[in-house]
A and B are shown apart, each in its own frame.
Chain A
Amino acid sequence: MGLLSDPNRRRALISLLTRLNTPICLVCYMAGVAWFMGLAFEPFTLRTYMSENAMGSTMVEERFPAGERALATGREFAAHKKKVGGMPVDWLVKTMQARGLEVFTQSFSRTLPFPDENKERYMVKGTNVYGILRAPRAPRTEALVLSAPCSPGDNNQAVGLLLGLAQYFRNQIYWAKDIIFLVNEHDLIGMQAWLEGYHHTNTTGMDWSPLQGRGGSIQAALSLELSSDVITSLDLVLEGLNGQLPNLDLANLFYAFCQKIGVLCTIQGKLQRNDWDSVSGYSHAVQTMMLMVMKQASGRPWGDHGLFLRYHIEAATIKGINSFRQYKTDATTIGRLLEGMYRKLNNLLERLHQSYFFYLMPSLSHFVSIGYYMPAFGLLTVILLLRETHIFTGRYLSIYSACIGNSPLLIKYVSSQQSSPGVLSVLTPLVISHLTGVALYTLPIRFQEMAVEHFPVSETEAVVLTAIAVYTAGLALPHNTHRFLSGEGTEQGWRVLKLVAVLYLAVLLGCTALINFSLGFILALTLVPVAAFVTPHIPKVLSAFILVILSPACTLLFSVFFFQELQEMPVSFQDGWLLYLSVISQGILDHFLYGSLVYPLIALLVYPCWLLFWNILFWK
């Protein structure tokens, strides 16, 4: 007799869940996908607004006058860069000192685990140059950062504008925080070295010289990418390492100033549209949102700002885009926009924390917060929990009916039968799957030399192809683990394994979605149907094919094609395959260079989980 609940009601509810399990699962899945697609529909989103009181509205007077001079400085920088053949350190130091900043340099070096074919580098050596503008009257406790990456042949105007702004800022007396002007070499690697040196941490094993000058705790940072003298629009990039996003107030600030000055601003490179009630308008918003989801799920920093977020510094990248449009914006206007943003950031009293840290943006003026998008994921996870109860009550009911319907002797036999799929039959597949995962994580890097000896491929290709080989070898496992299993082929064995696997997947997806919602959601979309419907009794060939299609590797392949489609640069199959290989190599490199967690997550946790389901499929 239950005290808090009625056992009859409970039993009725559980039996209802067990009977209608499949329809409810299907409905939940459809509802989850529909909810996610509905997020981009404008009436369901909120307009962005400034939450931080100290930043207030855009009421500052921007007076930056020297856009042309900044461009001239940029051309000088380009000339010196070409002469030196890398970063013109001496010229930069001299120029920054002439503008009244305290200039310091940092040298760093890193040998990549394998050569990076996209950027053609293997042993990287470089120097970062940064100048600190000390606030005239304030104590040196807080700082803001303005950075521009030094890339060969590109981004000269950004460095010129940075130096022009440095000169203008130096003449003002209203700065309450130090401003650090940073020019980093080898983009993300240099930025990582600088940040590690600034915060006295060393998480990625890089070699760098310690920083001689420091400016206090950094409140916000902006990275500039500007490659032309005039631009037609400014693009804001928010996605950072591991899918972390800066505080929404930074995006709001940018948007507010764009509106005040009258510059065209975009996010994901897509312009805003006003016709949200038409089909094309809605699909435009969906495309923008899906681009953000894809970029966030990849876990890589999409601009130099992405590495700041790990240190709880709100940062964004502003890219200048010059496309075929009539109205052009010159460097003075961009300088004024940045001046306005920095004056507002100067007014901050504490770190940006009033607005959201977890959000999706279907356009620059609308956003969806975590409270609105999480139910989509929750609906998918509910399917797993429903399946849990189904399996669990299935076992329970079968024992119950066995006990009711049979004699005591039979009960004893049945109960002894139930206890035979013990720990070993569950533990063995688990251990073997995880060992395969560990192999997938360690083998590609470790055996790249051996692979290069035996096969005519470059190191990068060796690593990627080894990874794919290990992945495919894992598919052969069920036929081999049965040799080690004692309780093989029992009815109850696979049920227990499925129970464990579904729980494992639910916890894994839940934790992933908390940190990186996009990655969790995409994995859930493909793995939840796998988890829900795999049993040894379904037709083997068809379900094996479906399982492979829904595995993480194929999900990645389809995502690559989908991403290219969204960016309106669709690729053919060969190019897509090569792109896929480079995406895998970039993912592995990101992990070793900056500490991105996507590669270890997939290799060590998601892939073994998927292998467990593969194991269940081939249980007999």
Chain B
Amino acid sequence: WLFRVETTLNMFIYSSSFTYFFQDNAGQFFSSGHTNNWAVLVCTSRFWFNYRHVANTLSVYRSVKRLGIPDSHIVLMLADDMACNHRNPKPATVFSHKNMELNVYGDDVEVDYRGYEVTVENFLRVLTGRLPPSTPRSKRLLSDDRSNILIYLTGHGGNGFLKFQDSEEISNVELADAFEQMWQKRRYNELLFIIDTCQGASMYERFYSPNLMALASSQVGEDSLSHQPDLAIGVHLMDRYTFYLLEFLEDIHPASKTNMNDLFKVCPKSQCVSTPGHRTDLFLRDPGSVLITDFFGSVRKVEITMETINLTDPINAVNGELQKETYSYVDQLPVSEIIHQKPKQKDWHPPDGFILGLWTLILLVFFKTYGIKHLKHIF
């Protein structure tokens, strides 16, 4: 029995060290303090020759989805439909690599804001949450104070602004104020902002809210360049920065420990021709301890507990035979009801001539009582 005591003792030590090991790693798990991940991916340009901006956004969407963020937590805004553009020789596809290696459009993409819905107003409303009550859930950023949000913008930009749809611009001041609104309403825990446009670094110059980290593809005064044209399609497929970002993200899997310092090294000047920039002074944690998957993935937090919880029996005993319910589909468009509907009850207003007649009556009574000579006071 001593042997059994020994083995039990060993098992006890082993399991306690195991739990200790788990608690160690669990501690690392909880270092970031967020419980859910959101992504807002925006492509702001339309027209066929801006194919590459849509391909940029879709490739980030692919990576983010692959690493675990579900469609319900991604707000995807595409300003134009490249896949179904008349000029696309391969309809229903958007390629990111030439010779059509990688189709980033796929068959399960969910675009939340499309075409002309991608405006500065809608973008700011999504960020700040000030949307009309009729907006569906898929178009809302329902983040809370423990959400890590990834915001990716691409399009044509300049020093201090980003062009939306060839007709309006968002300035860096507006963006910084929107993020401050988000902070004050505690709509994020930490926020990673990536922008791939010309002179992109100007967009994060004005940030002043805490817990913001920003990356841009080029400095002020530099242009971000496109990567490679595809001759069969006839347009440039991707921008350089996002191309190398995509390559970097392809190596990330949900359990990888790569941190932000590696992300800052993506696309050096030799590959990108422009100088990518980043800003971390508003971020409270050290970038070296921030995992890529904190923003790009959706790593579920698992809390290990040793307690047991008693659940009540949910199944009620049925007396007698089971009741058979007949199921039927709800009428999607109840035509018969619409045709035979009674007109909606509007608020009742008195008929039009009534008020006029009433006043005429009052005037007549007045003048009958007090004499016609008072009429001259009116006319």
Interface of A with B (CB < 8 Å)? 53-54, 56-57, 59-61, 135-138, 172-176, 343-344, 346-347, 349
Q: Which of A54, A176, A343 contacts B49 (CB 8 A)?
A: A54
Q: Which residues of A contact B236 (CB under 8 A)?
A: 59
- Asked if residues A347 and B86 are in contact (CB atoms below 8 Å), the reply is no
A57 to B229, CA, bound (A): 10
Report the minimal beta-carbon distance from A48 to chain B, rounded to whole angstroms: 20
Q: Which of B47, B49, B91, B231 contacts A61 (CB 8 A)?
A: B231
Report the minimal beta-carbon distance from B225 to chain A, rounded to whole angstroms: 13
Report the minimal beta-carbon distance from B171 to chain A, rounded to whole angstroms: 23
Q: Which residues of B contact A61 (CB under 8 A)?
A: 231-232, 234
Q: Which residues of B contact A344 (CB under 8 A)?
A: 234
Q: Which residues of A contact B48 (CB under 8 A)?
A: 54, 347, 349
Apart from A54-B48, A56-B49, A174-B234, what are 6 other A-B pairs with CB-CB below 8 Å?
A: A54-B49, A59-B229, A59-B234, A59-B236, A61-B234, A347-B49
Given contacts A53-B49, A137-B91, A347-B49, contact A176 B234 (CB under 8 A): no
- Greatest chain A CB density within 10 A among B88, B91, B234, B236 is at B234
Contact mask B60-99 → A, CB, 8 Å, 1/0? 0000000000000000000000000111110100000000
- Asked if residues B89 and A173 are in contact (CB atoms below 8 Å), the reply is yes
Q: Which of A54, A59, A60, A136 contacts B47 (CB 8 A)?
A: A54
The 7 closest A-B pairs by CB, nearest first: A61-B231, A176-B86, A138-B86, A174-B89, A59-B229, A60-B234, A137-B86
| Interface hits, B229-277 → A, CB 8 Å | 229, 231-232, 234-236
- Asked if residues B47 and A176 are in contact (CB atoms below 8 Å), the reply is no
Report the minimal beta-carbon distance from A64 to chain B, rounded to whole angstroms: 14
- Asked if residues A174 and B87 are in contact (CB atoms below 8 Å), the reply is yes
A136 to B84, CA, bound (A): 12
A347 to B86, CA, bound (A): 10
A136 to B91, CA, bound (A): 12
Interface size class of B (residues with CB under 8 A): 10 to 19
- Asked if residues B89 and A59 are in contact (CB atoms below 8 Å), the reply is no
- Asked if residues B234 and A347 are in contact (CB atoms below 8 Å), the reply is yes
Q: Which residues of B contact A349 (CB under 8 A)?
A: 47-48
Report the minimal beta-carbon distance from A527 to chain B, rounded to whole angstroms: 48
Given contacts A54-B48, A56-B49, contact A175 B232 (CB under 8 A): no
Report the minimal beta-carbon distance from B44 to chain A, rounded to whole angstroms: 16
Q: Which residues of B contact A174 (CB under 8 A)?
A: 86-89, 234
Q: Which residues of A contact B231 (CB under 8 A)?
A: 59-61
A396 to B232, CA, bound (A): 75
A174 to B89, CA, bound (A): 5
Report the minimal beta-carbon distance from A465 to chain B, rounded to whole angstroms: 58
Q: Which residues of B contact A343 (CB under 8 A)?
A: 234
- Asked if residues A347 and B87 are in contact (CB atoms below 8 Å), the reply is yes
Name the residue on A nearest B234 (C-beta). A60
- Asked if residues A346 and B49 are in contact (CB atoms below 8 Å), the reply is no
A53 to B235, CA, bound (A): 12
Name the residue on A nearest B228 (C-beta). A59
Provide a sorted-by-A list of 12 A–B residue pairs whose CB atoms are within 8 angstroms.
A53-B49, A54-B47, A54-B48, A54-B49, A57-B229, A59-B231, A59-B234, A59-B235, A60-B231, A174-B86, A176-B85, A176-B86
Name the residue on B nearest A54 (C-beta). B49
Q: Which of A53, A56, A59, A346 contacts B87 (CB 8 A)?
A: A346
Report the minimal beta-carbon distance from A142 to chain B, rounded to whole angstroms: 10
A60 to B85, CA, bound (A): 17
A154 to B232, CA, bound (A): 35
Q: Which residues of A contact B88 (CB under 8 A)?
A: 174
Report the minimal beta-carbon distance from B311 to chain A, rounded to whole angstroms: 57
Q: Which residues of B contact A346 (CB under 8 A)?
A: 87
Name the residue on B nearest A60 (C-beta). B234
Given contacts A347-B48, A349-B48, contact A135 B234 (CB under 8 A): no
Q: Which residues of A contact B85 (CB under 8 A)?
A: 176
- Asked if residues B87 and A176 are in contact (CB atoms below 8 Å), the reply is yes
A66 to B87, CA, bound (A): 23
Report the minimal beta-carbon distance from B116 to chain A, rounded to whole angstroms: 15
A136 to B232, CA, bound (A): 18
Name the residue on A nearest B84 (C-beta). A137
A346 to B229, CA, bound (A): 17
A349 to B45, CA, bound (A): 14
Contact mask B91-129 → A, CB, 8 Å, 1/0? 100000000000000000000000000000000000000
- Asked if residues A175 and B47 are in contact (CB atoms below 8 Å), the reply is no
- Asked if residues A172 and B234 are in contact (CB atoms below 8 Å), the reply is no
Report the minimal beta-carbon distance from A175 to chain B, rounded to whole angstroms: 7
A176 to B236, CA, bound (A): 19
Report the minimal beta-carbon distance from B90 to chain A, rounded to whole angstroms: 9
- Greatest chain B CB density within 10 A among A138, A174, A176, A343 is at A174
Name the residue on A nearest B85 (C-beta). A176
Name the residue on B nearest A177 (C-beta). B86
Name the residue on B nearest A63 (C-beta). B232
Report the minimal beta-carbon distance from B176 to chain A, rounded to whole angstroms: 30
- Greatest chain A CB density within 10 A among B47, B49, B86, B229 is at B86
